[in-house]
Structure 1
Amino acid sequence: MAVVVRAGAAPLWWLGVLAAGAGLLVPGLTGRRIGVLAGAALFLAAAAVVACVRRRRYRELAQGASRAARYDLLQDRAVSLRVWRRRHLWWLLLAFLAALGSSFALPAAGGMLLAGTGVGLWLKAAWLGRLERSEDALLWVRVDWLDKRGGNPVGKAVRDYRTTGIAAGDAAPGGARRRAALARSAA
């Protein structure tokens, strides 16, 4: 489940960095200095808000989690990342273009806002990883529930989470890639 939260972090971060870098090339209406200062404030605010929003819902679903049964359809990390990124490709592209376009008013601010959103998702995934380690179980969302409403892991379609052992699947707690899976695939 933390994989779904973490799926958008890398694209948002890199698109934000790219948009902020390109935005520095344009002087903008307010000037670069004001744009960068506003961008830094937006970066910090976006990271804090995204990292903290809906934590109570995550915690409630995690406390009510049940053991995954045979009929539960769960996805590996790589599949979840690929599906999420394909489903949100147009939204990512539109966010990048909006951040790039905002550089004509506030240089680099839109890109820094986008990058802050990515950092907030990483922070939320790290928080979920600590939650998974404390419970000594990975949290999963059934794929059929996740497919409804665009893949939101705390959406209305998600009634509860499923748990497996910490060694299940190819994801570590927090949605990161499992190191042992990398060693096995290289051998």
Structure 2
Amino acid sequence: MTRGGQGLARVAVVVRAGAAPLWWLGVLATGIGLLAPGLTGRRIGVLAGAALFVLAVAVVGAVRRKRYVALAASASRAGKHDVLQDRAVTVRNWRREHRWWLLLAFLAALGSAFATPAAGGMLLAGCGVGLWLKSAWLGRRERDGDALLWVRVDWLRGGAAHPAGKQVKAYRSTGIAAGDAAPGGARRKTPTLV
């Protein structure tokens, strides 16, 4: 990062980074939670879990959307000396920063199974699906605007850092072909040569 360049991470990749671990930890906690009858019984636990799953998907998918829209609207073009972080590096950094939060959430979901079986795990899985839906929404915005959104890496430091948090002052934008992640943060499909 010479001459004033900054490291930039894709906004959609940062959002999407937590989706898979939350989903799989939630599925695992749900499966283990079903083994214990709990205080409420399995049927009530699963029904409560289904309601929590739907609620988590809706809340996580919708939270801070206005902030994302405002930051995207005021995004400036990335400079030629800015360094675009690879998708794998962004995902690895996010998961490393949040590993203890993920572990605590998993243990809390397991612990809740003694009261309401499967409910905590389904809530965790719903948070993962909500993040995936939010990254898909960001991907649609990126395709519509024909620009990818990036955030400075130094603003994402710390376990509570968020790509639309108070510490983020502005986004940068690049052309739709920049970086190694497609709109929405998924792996970019490479064309096959025949």
Q: TM-score, normalised by structure 2?
A: 0.91
* Paired residues of 1:73 and 1:144 also in contact (CA < 8 A): no
- Matching residue of 2:101: 91
- Matching residue of 1:17: 27
Larger CA deviation: 138-147 vs 70-79: 70-79
* Paired residues of 1:74 and 1:142 also in contact (CA < 8 A): no
* Paired residues of 1:74 and 1:141 also in contact (CA < 8 A): no
Offset at 1:75? Answer: 1.3
Q: Does 1:39 align with 2:45?
A: no
* Paired residues of 1:132 and 1:139 also in contact (CA < 8 A): yes
Q: TM-score, normalised by structure 1?
A: 0.94
Question: Measured at CA, do residues 91 and 37 of structure 1 come closer, stay the same or move farther in structure 2, by a change above 3 Å?
Answer: same
Q: Does 1:63 align with 2:73?
A: yes
**What letter matches 1:68 in structure 2?**
A
Whole-angstrom distance in 2 between the partners of 1:8 and 1:27: 30
**Secondary structure at the residue paired with 2:149?**
strand
Q: Does 1:72 align with 2:82?
A: yes
* Paired residues of 2:12 and 2:138 also in contact (CA < 8 A): yes
Structure with bigger helix share is 1
Matched residues, number? 183
**What letter matches 1:109 in structure 2?**
A
Q: Does 1:130 align with 2:154?
A: no
Q: Does 1:172 align with 2:171?
A: no
1:133-181 superposed Cα distances (whole Å, 9 cap, x missing partner) = 0001110001122226743101122111111111111100000010118
Matching residue within 15, 18, 22 for 1:5? 15
* Paired residues of 1:149 and 1:157 also in contact (CA < 8 A): no
In structure 2, list runs of 5 or more residues that go unmatched.
1-10
Whole-angstrom distance in 2 between the partners of 1:155 and 1:23: 33
**Secondary structure at the residue paired with 1:141?**
strand
Percent identical among aligned pairs is 75
- Matching residue of 2:117: 107
- Matching residue of 2:168: 158
1:3-42 superposed Cα distances (whole Å, 9 cap, x missing partner) = 0000000000000000000000000000000000000000
- Matching residue of 2:39: 29
In structure 1, list runs of 5 or more residues that go unmatched.
none
Question: Measured at CA, do residues 104 and 149 of structure 1 come closer, stay the same or move farther in structure 2, by a change above 3 Å?
Answer: closer
